[in-house]
A and B are shown apart, each in its own frame.
Chain A
Amino acid sequence: MTEPPLRAGITGLAVVSALGRGAQAQLADAPAFGPVRRFDVSARRVATAATLADAGTLADELSGVIAGACTGLSALERANTPLLLGIHGHPDAGRSAAATTAGFAANLAARAGLAGVARIYTCACVSGSTAVADAAAAIRAGRSGRVVVAAGYLVEPDQFALFDAGRALATDGAARPFSAGRSGLLLGDAVSAVVLEPVGTREVAAEVVGWGRAGDAHHVVRPDPNGRGLARAVGDALRRAGIGPDELGYVNANASGADGDSAEAAALRGALDGHRVPVSSTKSVHGHGLEGSGLLELVVTVLAVRAGKLPVNHGHLGADPDCDLDLILDAPRPATSPYALTVNAAFGGADTALLVKAVS
């Protein structure tokens, strides 16, 4: 007799963003953008981001969320739990030849008493979400037990300068996902960790019931305007979850306030087969956390659905006909389904979709 597939559950989570530390802070209903004071931005076109005033180093903040997510695990259990990390690279890369990304990750695992590092994802804005998809796939296939997935980015001068040089940053002080008149994204701190493990051992906050990973095959950095890669990722997530789009209660979109938001709208309209699922992008409050974004948005999605309050898509000035979606505007909406989707897209045409079933 065939055993039913194992289910992957989130049994611990911890998070830091410009909205604050901890779960409750992430449910704030106001954007966290402000002047950048962490480093000199006097030579930049844009001087705004979402930064946590008392943020420590990336290593310390990642260590903090890993420890927080692992609360309740014994030292022995931690010693049998590997780390999957999403990160741009060692924070000192480019300035110190001794700064290796693998060494940075190994130190994080050692500080947390974990079994070591199983995988380091450096795939830009889908780093954390790809890690979760891989971990859930391995758990469902019976090839993995408990793992910690952590991902982090703290706004720093090099990426800020690059995004500024690429004219990717919003010039009007706000990220306006899917909105008419949007002028770009704004960067934000995003550091989070989750513990994923087969359901049945410990209390579960949410199950990762579906996932998808796909590629646009379209351009070096621009998304396919028809959103075909992202639509395939969403379709794969629904198929693995065994639910239809009519059962979905919420989509936390990737949209950042960039031109490419319309590609995501096309993807969602296609993949959801005309169903008007409530959509918002929480980047409108915590900013774009790059390598940390996918995992932060997964955590925020779980927290929002568990709280029964779907977040507002802030910064919206007016409808863009190319972004025709059921956007959550003006006020949070009550959650009516435990199923929620969070999608991410990155340079290189990388697309991911994660589908969770929140447990109240």
Chain B
Amino acid sequence: MSVVHGTRPTAPGGDVRTLAEAVMPPGTVPPPLPGFVVSSFSPLAAAAAERCLATRHGNPPALTRTAIVLVSGSGDAGMAEHVAHLVDGGLRLGPLLFFQAVPNSVAGHVAARWGLRGPVVCLCPTGDPKADGLAQARLLVDDGDADEVLVVLVEQTGAGDSAHALLVTKGDSP
């Protein structure tokens, strides 16, 4: 990965304030998520988001102008491998796979369940995933399109699948 110098379009100095946080450590087996099959990517993201939002808001809906920023370097590797296997083998693809073809889908699930009306942004990190997610969160809040941001970090790696969700807003952490 190259190092960015020049004038990188990120948030200014300062920080975001963490309102709630949930960690699903490597090896976590998330509960099934109806409508999502084959891969743990979306169930993990949804479970981390659910736990984080429940800490802050109790039960859904929250009905807030909260953005979702989903950050993953691996992307939904399980889904990508499964689709490649089916296509290369000339096998039939089930229609459910279409609905989880992009990381936006699980973000949409979380947004619909909790009534989160802010932007939906999915990123592949260019460096530290948490730093990228928080920089994007700060940009959206500073620009005025969201009051809070749910940052969800999800990775599918050989070390085990993991997820980490943070609900943040503008302001320095105490």
What is the interface of chain A, defined by CB distance below 8 A to chain B? 43, 79-82, 84, 88-89, 93-95, 100-103, 105-106, 109-110, 115-124, 126, 130, 134-135, 137-139, 141, 143-147, 157-159, 161-168, 212-221, 229, 232, 236, 346-352
| B130 → chain A closest CB, angstroms | 15
**Nearest-neighbor residue (CB-CB) of B1 within chain A:** A106
Any A CB within 8 A of the CB of B44: no
**CB pair A166 B99 closer than 8 Å:** yes
Q: Name the B residues within 8 Å of A168 (CB-CB).
A: 98
Contact B124 A105 (CB under 8 A): yes
Q: Tell whether A116 pairs with B77 under 8 Å between CB atoms, given A158-B83, A217-B111.
A: no
Which B67-81 residues have a C-beta within 8 angstroms of A? 67-68, 72-73, 75, 77, 80-81
> Quick check: B35 and A134 within 8 Å, CB to CB?
no
10 extra interchain contacts, Cβ-Cβ under 8 A, other than A118-B10, A134-B9, A165-B93? A103-B1, A105-B124, A106-B126, A121-B122, A164-B93, A217-B111, A217-B117, A348-B106, A348-B108, A348-B120
Q: A117-B2, A123-B104 are in contact. Are A349 and B120 (CB under 8 A)?
A: yes
Nearest Cβ on chain B to A151's Cβ, whole angstroms: 13
Query: What are 7 A-B residue pairs whose CB atoms fall within 8 Å in the complex?
Result: A102-B1, A116-B2, A138-B10, A144-B7, A214-B118, A348-B103, A348-B106
Question: Which A residues lie within 8 Å of B29 (CB)?
Answer: none
Compute how far the CA of A161 lies from the CA of B90 in the bound complex, rounded to whole angstroms. 10
Residues in B with CB closer than 8 Å to A103 are: 1
Chain B, 56-113, CB within 8 A of any chain A CB: 67-68, 72-73, 75, 77, 80-88, 90, 92-95, 97-99, 101-109, 111-112
Q: How far is the CA of A79 from the CA of B68 in the complex (A)?
A: 32
By the criterion CB–CB under 8 Å, are B126 and A123 in contact? no
Give which listed residue, A93, A117, A219, contacts B126 with CB less than 8 A: A117
Query: Are the C-beta atoms of A220 and B109 separated by less than 8 Å?
Result: yes
Check if B139 sits within 8 Å of A102, measured CB to CB.
no
CA distance A351 to B114 in the complex (A): 18
CB distance from B6 to the nearest CB of A (A): 4
Q: In the complex, A341→B106 CA distance in Å? A: 28
CA distance A350 to B122 in the complex (A): 10
**Range, interface on chain B:** 35 or more
Interface: B143 (CB within 8 A): yes
Closest to B11 in A: A143
How far, in angstroms, from A221 to B35 measured CA to CA in the complex? 11
Partner of B95, one of A89, A166, A220, A350: A166
Which residue on B lies nearest to A198, using beta carbons?
B7
Which of A100, A117, A122, A139 has the largest count of B CB atoms less than 10 A from its CB? A122
Which chain B residues border A218 with CB–CB below 8 Å?
Answer: 108, 111-112
What B residues does A134 contact at CB under 8 A? 9, 136, 139
Q: Does B16 contact A (CB under 8 A)?
A: no
**With A and B bound together, what is the CA distance between A303 and B6 in angstroms?**
29
Q: Are B86 and A101 in contact (CB under 8 A)?
A: no
Closest residue of B by beta carbon distance from A163? B98
B23 at the interface (CB under 8 A from A): no
Q: Looking at the complex, which one of A93, A147, A164, A216 makes contact with B9 (CB distance below 8 Å)?
A: A147
Q: Are A347 and B104 in contact (CB under 8 A)?
A: yes
- A283, B4: Cα distance in complex, Å: 34
Partner of B10, one of A93, A105, A143: A143
CB contact between A350 and one of B84, B101, B109, B119 (< 8 Å): that residue:
B119
Residue of A nearest to B86 (CB): A161
B37 within 8 A of A: no
In the assembled complex, the Cα of A245 lies from the Cα of B103 at a distance in Å of 33
Pick from B98, B109, B132, B144: contact of A166, CB below 8 A. B98
